Amino acid sequence: MRFALCFAALGALLSSPLSAQDFGERRSLVSGLPLTEDQQAIDPQHLWLDIWVDPASQSIRGKAAYSLAIEGEADVVELELDGLFRVTRVALGKIELPAEGYRHADGLLSIPIEVSRGANGRLDVTIEYEGQPRIAPNAPWDGGFVWTQTPGGEPWIATAIQGEGCDLLFPCIDNAAKEIGRVESTIWVPEASNLYAAGNGSLVDTVVAGDWRGYRWAARQPNTYAIALNIAPYKLIERTHRAPSGQDVPLVFYHLPGDGAPAARLLDELAKYLDWFERRIGPYPFADEKAGIAQTPHLGMEHQTINAYGNEFRVTDEPYDWLLFHEFAHEWFANQMTNRAPADMWLNEAMASYMEALYLRDIAGEDAYRSKLAEYHARIASRVAVAPRDAIDDGAYLGGGGWGTDIYFKGSWVLHTLRGLIGDEALFASLTRLVYATPEPKPGAIAPLLRDTDEFLTILEQESGCELGWFFEAYLRQPALPRLSATRNGQFLDLEWTVPGGLAFPMPIEVAAGGEVRVARFTDNRARIDLGSEDAPYTLDPESRILRALPPPAPSPAPR
């Protein structure tokens, strides 16, 4: 589940480097801002990250040791780091810099490179920092650290930093285009406690150093905001699951004491979800690490291989746990395939939401699928484009503009309509290529990648053989829904699509009349269909396949 406070970046601006100071102190609270020229030239290949977490003072101390590749002209290493932290040490290779040798202001840490670059354009940089990190005002929607207690009164700590970004936890280039090739993180907790620190990737070792106990994790190419802390007196349920792809996937649930039974039930469900996604989309991308769940004090988020789960093990009438399913869907649609820019976030959220509806269809039937889509339809706002070419204003996600809900619910309906237009074969082939960049992904040969809306359009057109630019323009690039007018003319029905800007919209639509279903096909947004008789009743789109603006319901008669 992708939650955010605000997104201010323009997709178009990503190709236009800005000054490092253009955003001031806002930089710490906004993820995905345009890269500076120096940041574009730097590739973070390896990070060794140590974080000491002190529950008593609600503070952390960190050490981030980077191996960077300099791929172009760069005079400065520029990393985002929240201004609430104090930088205590910076070194280039073995050279420790004096305090005046670097600058940390307005959420940006600037380190001049000068002649310290190593052979083959490589550079090692170490940053040590400390402080009380930003507390989440309303996790996970409004992000940061969560410091709370378990029902037993022990520390329970989590991070949820999607919209604000990785710089609330460690120094990083806070942009999806700069995922780190490999992250080896050691999360340290007081040795005297019984706390367990669950992390991304695979557990390499547990070590003790003085008053601290460290949990060493290794993850390849993690989505930067999906690098997370989860600390509690966790108990573990572990098993190995043989997936349809033939992979043996470690399944792990990190749960609070006393919640073992419901956690075991959900781990069984996770195995079912994994099998379904493998058959529908492709191999689980992180089988060499794990499929993990951490019980959290906030609702949830798609932290890579360690999904946050805070749904309190609720049992509902639906035959699945919506939160667990949604977050796990993001292992494919967010962590394996990551949106290139904030304006492409619907590729993550709409996909995950629509997968819920399809999963219900497969396990509970067509009525369950339609019920889920009806639930989504009621929440469509259509006030902001789902995938805008222009700026996403600050506060768009939570500010009531509708973008933050439409990337889930309207986006799901866009996919539902697309499925009806091009068919299952073309849609699922496109989704597989979107996620893996190949029609036949193989376990062990999968690497995360970035995608944008235009790339998805290209893939869909190749797989379906249809020109679909009109579809994307009408549904994704502008906010208003297409409107369909119907005028009776004797036994004929005249239909016309209206789309803002006079856009072409040749969307065929079914019309049920006289016991038959006819398909109206449009030229210049108009169509005529023969109903068979002048008084034949008719129904437009009887299977609700098409996303369109619906007329308001007729007023109820006044009570007598």
CATH number of 204's domain:
2.60.40.1730
Instruction: Decide which of 425, 442, 475 is a domain's last residue.
Output: 475
Does residue 43 belong to any structural domain of this protein?
Answer: yes
Does residue 7 belong to any structural domain of this protein?
Answer: no
Q: What is the pLDDT of residues 390-431, one digit of tens each?
A: 766 655 666 667 888 999 999 999 999 999 999 999 999 999
Does residue 271 belong to any structural domain of this protein?
Answer: no
Please report, for residues 80, 441, 460, 469, 470, the alpha-carbon distance to residue 453 in angstroms, rounded to integers and kept in the order given. 27, 21, 11, 11, 14
348 and 491 together in one domain:
no
Q: Structure pTM?
A: 0.91
Cβ neighbourhood burial of 185 (10 Å; 0-12, 13-18, 19+): buried
Helix, strand, or coil here: 332?
Answer: coil
Task: Report pLDDT for 74.
Answer: 87
Q: Using only C-alpha atoms, what is the Rg of the chain?
A: 25
Record the tokens describing residue 543, joined without a space.
Answer: 């299977």
**Which among 3, 228, 304, 256 is positioned nearest to 138, based on CA atoms?**
3
Does residue 383 belong to any structural domain of this protein?
Answer: yes
Does residue 138 belong to any structural domain of this protein?
Answer: no
358 and 444 together in one domain:
yes
198 and 129 together in one domain:
yes
Record the tokens describing residue 205, joined without a space.
Answer: 């070792």
**Which among 252, 375, 276, 261 is positioned nearest to 313, based on CA atoms?**
261
In DSSP notation, 261-304 reads HHHHHHHHHHHHHHHHHHHHT-S-TTTTT-EEEEE-SSSEE--T
Does residue 449 belong to any structural domain of this protein?
Answer: yes
Note down the domain range covering 495. Answer: 483-540
Task: Report pLDDT for 394.
Answer: 53
Find the length of the chain. Answer: 560
464 and 528 together in one domain:
no
Q: What is the CB neighbour count within 10 angstroms for residue 335? A: 23
Task: Report pLDDT for 190.
Answer: 98
Does residue 504 belong to any structural domain of this protein?
Answer: yes
Record the tokens describing residue 163, joined without a space.
Answer: 């919209």
Q: What is the pLDDT of residues 240-261, one digit of tens each?
A: 999 999 999 999 999 999 999 9
26 and 72 together in one domain:
yes
Burial call 228-244: b when 16+ CB within 10 Å, e when fewer? bbbbbebbebeeebebe
| CATH code of the domain covering residue 372 | 1.10.390.10
Instruction: Decide which of 447, 475, 503 is a domain's last residue.
Output: 475
Task: Report pLDDT for 390.
Answer: 79
Task: Report pLDDT for 31.
Answer: 83
Please report, for residues 197, 259, 302, 350, the alpha-carbon distance to residue 312 in angstroms, rounded to integers and kept in the order given. 20, 9, 17, 24
- Predicted confidence pLDDT, tens digits, the chain (560 residues): 432 322 222 222 223 344 444 555 556 777 888 899 999 999 999 999 999 999 999 999 999 999 999 987 889 999 999 999 999 999 999 999 999 999 999 999 999 987 455 556 889 999 999 999 999 999 998 999 999 999 999 999 999 999 899 999 999 999 999 999 999 999 999 999 999 999 999 999 999 999 999 999 999 999 999 999 999 999 999 999 999 999 999 999 999 999 999 999 999 999 999 999 999 999 999 999 999 999 999 999 999 999 999 999 998 888 999 999 999 999 999 999 999 988 999 999 999 999 999 999 999 999 999 999 999 999 999 999 999 997 666 556 666 678 889 999 999 999 999 999 999 999 999 999 999 999 999 999 999 999 999 999 999 999 999 999 999 999 999 999 999 999 999 999 999 999 998 999 999 999 999 899 999 999 999 999 999 999 899 999 999 999 999 876 555 554 44
Cα angle: 58, vertex 260, 205; to 5 degrees: 55
Instruction: Decide which of 184, 200, 228 is a domain's last residue.
Output: 228
User: Can you say whether residue 314 is alpha, beta or left, with left for phi > 0 and alpha for psi between -120 and 50 degrees?
Assistant: beta
Q: Dihedral (C-alpha) 454, 456, 460, 462: value to the nearest 10 degrees?
A: 70
Cβ(146)–Cβ(298) below 8 Å: yes
410 and 492 together in one domain:
no
Does residue 181 belong to any structural domain of this protein?
Answer: yes
393 and 498 together in one domain:
no
506 and 458 together in one domain:
no
383 and 444 together in one domain:
yes
Residues 6+ apart with CB under 8 A from 365: none
432 and 407 together in one domain:
yes
Instruction: Report the distance separating Cα 543 and Cα 546, nearest Å.
Output: 9
58 and 194 together in one domain:
yes
64 and 192 together in one domain:
yes
Which amino acid, 272? K
Q: How many structural domains is the chain composed of?
A: 3
